[in-house]
Structure 1
Amino acid sequence: MNPIKLDAIKPDQTFKGELLVDKSFLLLGSGQKVTTELIKNLMTWNITELYIDDSAAPAPSVAQFTEDTDTDEFITLEKKETEAPKMNTSIKEALAKAQNSSNEKSRLTGVMNVYNEYMSYIHSVYTRFATHGDFNSEDLFETVKELCVFVKENRRYVLRISPSVETRTKNYLVSHAMRSTIFAIVIGLKLHLTFTQLQELGVSCILHEIGMLKLPSYLYLSEKKFSHAERAKIATHPLLGYQVIAQANFDVPIQRAILEHHEHEDGSGYPQNLVSDKISDYARIISVVCAYEAMSSPRNFREARTTYDAMVEMLKNQNSKYNGDVIKALLYSLSIYPIGAYVYLANGKIGQVCDVNPDNPKNPIVQILGETAADGEPRTVETDEGINKIVRVMNKDEARDAVKFLEKKSS
């Protein structure tokens, strides 16, 4: 492995070997051109020396991964597609139906349908990149614009959606991108980001794991725990993602968000060990939602924590890894008993958290299962420290059995 000074590297230059940072993080694959923007960013990050690994075999292209990796979740879609994905009419139709819902139940169903359509859209974005290596960035921004409005208008419904285990495990990257983006937009709204900033944050969050597609698919579809070497390979995905997004000419704030989304406030993150205010604002948000989503989502090799347990873990914020303002925004957006959680109350009733109490995240609004108000809509109560106190959160088996029992009782 040979060192090379940054000032010796010129735009459009290529190397026979891989170009790496710190002898471990891949920056450019063999034969790929150095761009002026890349050099400028390396100077900004105070990186003055890189390494050339001549011993490494040429990195396979995305197209080669597509052809050679029969387990890849993204190659099952049509490869005859010639245009980058666009916000299709099914999303617009689902949005219109959700807006015209006449009651709580139909509204929740409508929001679920919109959610699923956005999941399909994100799947098509990832598939397009896996099979063609490009993006329809203009349409992506337009789609995220509509998603921001949708989340703002339907926050208390969309946060109650919990994709099935099958969806999360089979389409992990897509499900992770979708849920993380929802959480990021909700936090962005709480932090009073401008609409343009919300769009940039949403695009960044949708694409924050795109670098994974430059790695063999078994690394993100594995059913086992990873070895040290495998974890090291996975740790290259922020740089790989940055490379992809920079070459696609996304704006610098989005590039930085993707590059820095695994950085930590205490300097323990990667790839640059940045600290505190050296980390971009979008990356700070994505770091939090990425961690929270991962904790509360099952993987093939482990069970998910409850959303309550995940929230408590985030609030501990050990070693101050995460930005305090972002953690607070997460808490006040979801409550300590996050929206969607099923809970036992002190009065013996069972409920589902359906909204936050803006004045007290410890006492959210709960929809009482099996009870209706005078207008026929589900009955809701504001929890407190008395008879409506939340005793504990139900685990997934208890919640499933309770819902089934109540559905059977009402049928």
Structure 2
Amino acid sequence: MGKNFTNENISWGRQMIKTLKIENLKPGMIVGKDIYSSSFDRLIAKENSVLTTQGINRLIRYYVREISVKFPEEIKNENEDKRWKADLKREVVDEETQTTNQTSAEKMKQSDSFKQFYKTFNESLKVTEKVMDDIAFRAAEINSTLIDTMIDRVVNVSNNGIFIFDMLHCMRELDDLTYAHSMSVALICKVFGEWLHLPKAEVDALKMAGFFHDIGKVKVPREILCKKDKLTQSEYEIVKKHTEFGYDILKNKNIDERVIMAALMHHEKCDGSGYPNHLERDQIDEFAKIVAIADSYEAMTANRCYREALCPFTVIEEFELNALQHYEPKYILPLMEMIAQSYIGNNVVLTNDVVGEVIMLNKHNLARPIVRTAADYIDLSREKSLKIKQVI
């Protein structure tokens, strides 16, 4: 379990096991039974491991509500007592040293999980570029099985939606407006589909819509896509054409109609202010509405040649301001909450440069959670002068 829990099992004398809610856990408590994610596809904590602050935060991020905890009635002998206390002390010191010297992202990047995800993701980009270019420029047919397998290969490294967001958060240095962006949006669409409890066949189709939504950008001159200065009006009009280019590329292909519509409509807004056709809410394809959210979130939280990545909580605030006008409420509202929940347990920097940890959301103001600092608890929904400026 890395540094979140001690790996060594501890032998106990007589003991009792109690079930405790997550808010009652303390560092130093002993896990009573193996803890798995809600889908039972990931072991989060092993029986007999020692809980640390980071370990408890990990449980929170996996939405674990309660666990079994062991309480020894007696330790077998004095030597074992000393060994256990030494183990715990060492674990706490290690954790405090890591917290002081490394950000959450830096620690994540050193993990085997991230290295495997990064490797698999980058391998997929070579295939993504060839697939899209062959379809767009050489009229190749769409090999849905190949694409589905490629996306799932990245997904299978990830285990669950929160993990995917963790991994993508650590990869914001990838400055690619087409291929990496398309793969990222495909992954986010899969997560969104599952969070919305869509049937598997629908999730698979939505994932494909995310993958192909920006295929039209391969026909936009790269010097315009990668321009660091503000686009001229004529350049912006060319960029906007990518939705129609994408539609023209896909319209005669053997693929789900909703994938084609997502390529055309993912920049439409429910109030009619989008493009290319200024469609309103009831005229926009349902998949296109979901892809629009995934596309906006990924684009705003990733580095671009013309700006640095925005803080996820800045993006959530932007969503909150425009949610009902631009996006479908039945999609954007639950997705905003799930996105915000995925950052519980992360360290953040406030606008006064104080570092803290996101510990609880404010349901009616998701961009302003409760943050625990070294000195205090700050409810950002009340402290209007402060905001989260960076997730670290």
Q: Same fold (TM over 0.5)?
A: yes
Partners of 1:115 and 1:158 within 8 A in 2: no
Return the match for 2:328 from 320, 323, 328.
323
| Structure 1 unmatched ranges of 5 or more | 1-97, 367-381, 400-411
1:140 matched to 2:147? The reply is yes
1:90 is matched with none
After superposition, residues 39-54 of structure 1 pair within 5 angstroms as none
1:125 matched to 2:152? The reply is no
**1:139 deviation in Å?**
1.4
**1:173 deviation in Å?**
1.9
**1:361 deviation in Å?**
8.0
Distance 2:217 2:192 in 1: 25
Partners of 2:347 and 2:355 within 8 A in 1: no
Partners of 1:312 and 1:336 within 8 A in 2: no
1:160 is matched with 166
Q: CA 1:185/1:389 → structure 2, altered by over 3 Å: closer, same or farther?
A: farther
**1:211 deviation in Å?**
0.5
Distance 1:120 1:199 in 2: 21
Return the match for 1:258 from 245, 255, 263.
263
What secondary structure, in the 3-state scheme, does the structure 1 residue paired with 2:357 have? Answer: strand
| Structure 2 unmatched ranges of 5 or more | 1-40, 47-57, 59-106, 381-385
Letter in 2 for 1:118: F
Distance 1:178 1:251 in 2: 18
What secondary structure, in the 3-state scheme, does the structure 2 residue paired with 1:343 have? Answer: strand
**1:186 deviation in Å?**
2.2
Distance 2:170 2:126 in 1: 14
Partners of 2:290 and 2:331 within 8 A in 1: yes
Letter in 1 for 2:210: C
**1:232 deviation in Å?**
0.9
Distance 1:282 1:269 in 2: 16
Percent identical pairs in the alignment equals 21
Partners of 2:258 and 2:288 within 8 A in 1: no
**1:323 deviation in Å?**
1.0
**1:389 deviation in Å?**
4.2
Distance 1:177 1:208 in 2: 7
**1:215 deviation in Å?**
2.2
Provide TM-score, normalisation by structure 2.
0.60
**1:296 deviation in Å?**
2.2
Letter in 1 for 2:162: R
Distance 2:148 2:233 in 1: 37
Letter in 2 for 1:242: Y
Q: CA 1:344/1:390 → structure 2, altered by over 3 Å: closer, same or farther?
A: farther
After superposition, residues 371-410 of structure 1 pair within 5 angstroms as 388-389=377-378, 395-396=389-390, 399=392
1:292 matched to 2:297? The reply is yes
**1:305 deviation in Å?**
2.1
Q: CA 1:277/1:337 → structure 2, altered by over 3 Å: closer, same or farther?
A: same
Partners of 1:148 and 1:198 within 8 A in 2: no
Distance 1:253 1:139 in 2: 19
2:280 is matched with 275
Distance 1:201 1:154 in 2: 17
2:55 is matched with none
Q: CA 1:383/1:198 → structure 2, altered by over 3 Å: closer, same or farther?
A: farther
Partners of 1:307 and 1:341 within 8 A in 2: no
**1:238 deviation in Å?**
1.1
Q: CA 1:261/1:141 → structure 2, altered by over 3 Å: closer, same or farther?
A: same
1:204 matched to 2:215? The reply is no
What secondary structure, in the 3-state scheme, does the structure 2 residue paired with 1:124 have? Answer: helix
Distance 2:155 2:209 in 1: 13
2:249 is matched with 244
Letter in 1 for 2:202: Q
Distance 2:322 2:173 in 1: 30
1:220 is matched with 225
Bigger mean CA deviation after superposition, 188-197 or 300-309: 300-309
Bigger mean CA deviation after superposition, 309-318 or 180-189: 180-189
Return the match for 2:356 from 350, 353, 359.
350
Partners of 2:212 and 2:263 within 8 A in 1: yes
What secondary structure, in the 3-state scheme, does the structure 1 residue paired with 2:313 have? Answer: helix
Bigger mean CA deviation after superposition, 197-206 or 173-182: 173-182
Distance 1:342 1:199 in 2: 33
**1:301 deviation in Å?**
1.9
Letter in 2 for 1:328: L
1:192 is matched with 197
Q: CA 1:309/1:340 → structure 2, altered by over 3 Å: closer, same or farther?
A: farther
Q: CA 1:349/1:264 → structure 2, altered by over 3 Å: closer, same or farther?
A: closer
Deviations 1:337-366 (Å, cap 9, x if unpaired)?
Answer: 846853269xx873367xx87988859999
Q: CA 1:260/1:362 → structure 2, altered by over 3 Å: closer, same or farther?
A: closer
What secondary structure, in the 3-state scheme, does the structure 2 residue paired with 1:350 have? Answer: strand
Letter in 2 for 1:127: K
Distance 2:209 2:191 in 1: 14
Return the match for 1:305 from 304, 310, 313.
310
Partners of 2:188 and 2:294 within 8 A in 1: yes
Deviations 1:258-292 (Å, cap 9, x if unpaired)?
Answer: 11111110111112221112111110011112122
Distance 1:318 1:157 in 2: 25
Provide TM-score, normalisation by structure 1.
0.57
Q: CA 1:282/1:316 → structure 2, altered by over 3 Å: closer, same or farther?
A: same
